Every structure is written in structure tokens, then in C-alpha cells.
Amino acid sequence: MKSNIKDVRLQHFDRIRGYLEKLKIEEIIEDQEKYVIDIPFPFEFISGEKIALLIRFFIMEKWILTKCLILLAKQIPKNLQNSIMKSLLQSNFQYPEVTFSMDLESNIYLEIDMIPSINFKTFESEFKSIHFGIKHFYNVIISNIDKKMSKQNTFKEFKMLYS
């Protein structure tokens, strides 16, 4: 039965990789043994400043868990943590397509969970909601709390940590 689950997860892995290729994602980092796909998500601010955020796809048997690392904990001033957390929870309540979360180290993520049988059109729509979530995070949440908080290239930071 275990090999059956492996086969199913590998099919899901191939489907998601194919969708990312169809979206013309230039850099796809695969770890088939762990059923993980990483990509950089380029984002440009109105100011012209550009960053690349890490998006990680966790391929499970019954779910595709997508996590976009928006902000590392070390960038969050201690005195602003509660305000940011409150705003993230309120945003989760207001916007059904946007879910913010935090890991055990207090890094902030934008999440999208999808069923593995998702078709390309729906995948593309879900994927595009990441852009909305990032815009909302920086243009609404952060700008209302601290306009000076730095934006991070989480993809580059992640690659430096794990290369």
C-alpha cells in the first residue's frame, strides 16, 4: 500500500510541475524524494523595487500545500508583532482566497491549499491569488503598521541558507 501512495504522490508531483512549466516558471527546484517543489515568485512594488519570494509546494496524497514565505521573523520588530498578527487574522477572515500563517520560528507565509486533482485553469487562478495576497500584505497590512519595514527577497535568503 505504501508504494501505491508513493505512486499517487508522484503523479501529483508531475501534474504540479507540468502546470508550473505551462505557466512558464523559469526556475523550478524539485526534490522528488521529499515531494517538494520550490520556485521563486517575482514581485514588483509600485516603487519599482523587485523581490523574489520563496514558494514551496508540498505534494501530499490528498492535498497540495502551497506556502509563500513573505517575511522572515528576524525582520519583524518585537513591538509590532502583535499588530501584525492581529491584521493577518483579520485578513484571513475578510478574504477567502488569502490565508496567512506563521511557522514555529514566527516566519510569515501566505498559503493556498489545493486538491491534487485540480485542473490547470483552477490551479492558475489559485496561483494568481498569491500576487493579491502579497500586495495586500505589503500595501495594506504593513503600510498601516510600519511603512519603513523592509521587504525581503525570501527566495535568495532561503537559497543561501540551504545551498
Residue whose C-alpha cell is 512549466: 21
What is the Cα–Cα distance from 104 to 72, expressed in whole angstroms?
A: 12
**Residue 48 cell numbers, joined:** 519599482
CB-side neighbour CA atoms (13 Å) of 31: 10
Distance separating alpha carbons of residues 154 and 41, to the nearest angstrom: 9
C-alpha distance from residue 10 to each of 39, 40, 70, 152 (Å): 18, 22, 28, 32
> What pLDDT score was predicted for residue 2?
53
Residue ranges of the chain whose pLDDT lies below 70: 1-3, 159-163
- Write the DSSP assignment of 23-45 as a string of letters: TT-S--EEETTTTEEEEEEEEE-
Q: In degrees rounded to 5, what are phi and psi of residue 152?
A: -120, 145
pLDDT at 163: 43
d(CA 95, CA 66): 17
pLDDT of residue 3: 56
Q: Tens of pLDDT along 119-158?
A: 999 999 999 999 999 999 998 898 888 777 778 888 887 7
2-162: CATH class: alpha beta
Q: How far apart are CA 117 and CA 24, in angstroms?
A: 21
Instruction: Tell me what pLDDT residue 161 has.
Output: 52
Q: Where do the domains of the chain lie?
A: 2-162
Q: What is the pLDDT of residue 129?
A: 93
